[in-house]
Amino acid sequence: MKIMPTAGGTGTIEISIKGPILEVAKEHKPSAHLMIVLDGKYALVILPTRSNEQKKENEFGESVLVSVTYFWEGVYAGFDNVPAGPHSVMIDVSLEGPETHKAKMTGSGNLDNDWNGFVTVPNGGSAQLVFGAKNWVNQELERIR
């Protein structure tokens, strides 16, 4: 995503999520997404890289959907023309709509995000955030570098 250029220097923020990150629902959720928010203003919405249905047979011999697992793996995203200096970055997955999710991520629900942090963009350079999988104990993305 390109940010509007400013009078000062700019750089880029590159975000890589090796994953997997997953979210489970009891039914299909077309709104499933991973969201990356920069400075509480700019948002990238990334759809799942794949999904998997879990079904079982009911007493009538019919196949019934039990759950749907959404996966995000090998995600690469970035922001261009970011003003040099410090910036906040928030990352979270959700099954609800992006507008509702962004309001929660940047508002009172921000402590529930998968990752909140800061990165400093060098003038003319690039800042990189690289993550592995989501830790099941603390429910946060594990930053590699």
Domain ranges, ordered by start, for the chain: 10-18+32-48+72-143
Q: pTM value? A: 0.91
Whether the pLDDT of residue 6 is over 70: the answer is: no
Give 77-128 pLDDT, tens digit per residue.
999 999 999 999 999 999 999 999 999 999 999 999 999 999 999 999 999 9
* Predicted local distance difference test score (pLDDT) of residue 5: 60
User: Which numeric CATH code is attached to 10-18+32-48+72-143?
Assistant: 2.60.40.1120
Strand boundaries in 28-140, DSSP class E: 33-38, 42-46, 50-57, 63-72, 75-83, 85-94, 115-121, 126-134
CB 72 within 8 A of CB 20: yes
